[in-house]
């Protein structure tokens, strides 16, 4: 492990980092700031691989990696820190070797264990910023809460199949729980092993985490609101949703009720009566309705059906009652109070619509998501409408 002495810059650093230092937003001062920074990457998996490699290359002076897992062959299509020779070894060891090959002049600190309510605050206390690449809900809430308690910014990402989300949470500007106050019912969101993951999507989102991390360290991030991005690799689209702190958030709100790490396994497995908002149990589900439930719901409640797919996909076929609205236009759609009825959000496979429904619920709307999206709706052979092609 190389000791780091970052002040003043060495001639070697001038050579190594010249192409980014020539950017006026970086410069010598910015590079020194990066070399003095301490960043922790949670998880040496798919997201952590891309994020850590770019952060090492950019000269983050102290780069921590926390993971208790070992490398498996099935990891290698997306976890590009590791190679076939590392199968069976600790991910932290494999990560340290790879990161030092990329940049031997930074300090890599490895934490060869999983994060827990008992150790998280001690580990985080050594770092300025947290990059979250964890792949399960208990760890995601644990990492979020600890970052809030210690006032550390967190660059968060999650990926599944062909989709990814990325969020930048800064102290005072909102946290993961502001957007997602309660975890999804256990088993309702499949993991990568069941649902699959397109490896390069992890590279895109992990690289974005590195970009947003370096921007935060250099003070290049827009100061007024949080950033939440949704990437759809099949559609080749990014959607950006601004968000703000939720004053009633249980960890970062005005009167927080959770002020130290809790039991996250029970929170995510059983729900927490303090943190879980009241919800209808008529359908037995949380925020998502399967196609037949949705059909009954639309009839019984006169719900407005909002389709957030691309406009061209909407014209190619949609649920007959649906109207189109781009994800980023949801605020203006509901801004004039036009919707007193429930809202049913619809997308291709039910992932983005679940985000959208969560987002609208936080704004007080009775919003629901069509589970499985229009794919599941069509498989259920429910009514479908195709717009006439415009005459030319
Ligand atoms: Zn919050």
Q: Report how far ligand 1's centroid is from the alpha carbon of 324 (Å).
A: 30
Spatial separation of the C-alpha atoms in residues 158 and 163, rounded to whole Å: 9
Q: Report how far ligand 1's centroid is from the alpha carbon of 251 (Å).
A: 5
More confident residue, 189 or 278: 189
Spatial separation of the C-alpha atoms in residues 44 and 331, rounded to whole Å: 36
Mean pLDDT rounded to a whole number for the chain: 88
Q: Report how far ligand 1's centroid is from the alpha carbon of 172 (Å).
A: 8
- Provide the CATH number for the domain formed by 11-270 in this structure: 3.40.50.720
For the stretch 101-159, pLDDT in tens is 999 999 999 999 999 999 999 999 999 999 999 988 899 999 999 999 999 999 999 99
pLDDT, residue 103, reads 97
Q: Report how far ligand 1's centroid is from the alpha carbon of 95 (Å).
A: 31
pTM: 0.73
Q: Report how far ligand 1's centroid is from the alpha carbon of 179 (Å).
A: 7
288-379: CATH architecture: 3-Layer(aba) Sandwich (3.40)
Q: Report how far ligand 1's centroid is from the alpha carbon of 144 (Å).
A: 9
Spatial separation of the C-alpha atoms in residues 188 and 58, rounded to whole Å: 38
Beta strands in the chain, from DSSP E residues, in sequence order: 38-42, 62-66, 107-111, 129-132, 154-160, 163-169, 226-232, 237-243, 288-289, 304-307, 323-324, 343-346, 367-370
Q: Report how far ligand 1's centroid is from the alpha carbon of 351 (Å).
A: 22
pLDDT, residue 120, reads 98
Q: Report how far ligand 1's centroid is from the alpha carbon of 133 (Å).
A: 19
pLDDT, residue 121, reads 98
For the stretch 56-115, pLDDT in tens is 999 999 999 999 999 999 899 999 999 999 999 999 999 999 999 999 999 999 999 999
pLDDT, residue 194, reads 61
Q: Report how far ligand 1's centroid is from the alpha carbon of 245 (Å).
A: 6
Element (H, E) at 160: strand 154-160
Q: Ligand 1 being an ion, which residues bring their Cβ within 5 A of it? A: 175, 177-178, 249, 252
Q: Where are the domains of the chain?
A: 11-270, 288-379
pLDDT of 192 over the 80 cut: no
For the stretch 232-281, pLDDT in tens is 999 899 988 878 899 999 999 999 999 999 999 888 874 433 333 333 32
Q: Report how far ligand 1's centroid is from the alpha carbon of 391 (Å).
A: 50
Q: Report how far ligand 1's centroid is from the alpha carbon of 176 (Å).
A: 6
pLDDT, residue 301, reads 85
């Amino acid at each position: 492990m190389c000791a780091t002495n970052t002040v003043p810059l060495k001639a070697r650093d001038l050579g190594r980092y010249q192409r980014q230092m020539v950017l006026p937003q970086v410069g010598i001062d910015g590079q020194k700031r990066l070399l003095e920074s301490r960043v922790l990457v949670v998880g040496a998996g798919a997201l952590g691989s891309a994020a850590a490699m770019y952060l090492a290359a950019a000269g983050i002076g102290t780069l921590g990696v926390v993971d208790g897992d070992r490398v498996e062959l099935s990891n290698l299509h997306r976890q590009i820190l590791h190679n076939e020779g590392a199968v069976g070894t600790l991910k932290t060891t494999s990560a340290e070797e790879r990161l030092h090959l990329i940049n031997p002049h930074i300090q890599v600190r490895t934490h060869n264990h999983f994060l827990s309510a008992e150790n998280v605050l001690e580990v985080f206390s050594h770092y300025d910023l947290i990059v979250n690449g964890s792949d399960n809900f208990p760890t995601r809430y644990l990492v979020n809460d600890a970052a809030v308690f210690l006032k550390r910014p967190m660059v968060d990402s999650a990926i599944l199949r062909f989709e990814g989300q990325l969020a930048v949470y800064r102290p005072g500007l909102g946290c993961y729980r502001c957007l997602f106050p309660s975890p999804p019912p256990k088993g309702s969101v499949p993991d990568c092993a069941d649902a699959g993951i397109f490896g390069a999507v992890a590279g895109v989102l992990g690289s974005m985490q590195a970009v947003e991390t370096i921007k935060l360290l250099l003070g290049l991030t827009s100061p007024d609101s949080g950033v939440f991005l949704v990437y759809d690799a099949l559609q080749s689209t990014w959607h950006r949703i601004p968000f703000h702190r939720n004053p009633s958030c249980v960890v970062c709100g005005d009167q927080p009720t959770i002020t130290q790490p809790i039991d996250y396994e029970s929170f995510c497995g059983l729900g927490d009566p303090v943190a879980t908002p009241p919800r209808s149990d008529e359908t037995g589900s949380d925020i998502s309705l399967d196609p037949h439930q949705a059909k009954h719901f639309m009839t019984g409640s006169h719900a407005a059906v909002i389709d957030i797919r691309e406009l061209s996909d909407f014209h190619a076929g949609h649920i007959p009652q649906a109207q189109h609205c781009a994800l980023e236009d949801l605020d203006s759609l509901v801004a004039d109070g036009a919707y007193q009825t429930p809202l049913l959000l619809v997308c291709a496979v039910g992932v983005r619509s679940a985000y959208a429904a969560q987002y609208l619920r936080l704004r007080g709307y009775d919003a629901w998501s069509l589970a499985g999206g229009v794919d599941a709706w069509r498989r259920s052979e429910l009514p479908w409408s195709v717009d006439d092609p415009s005459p030319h």
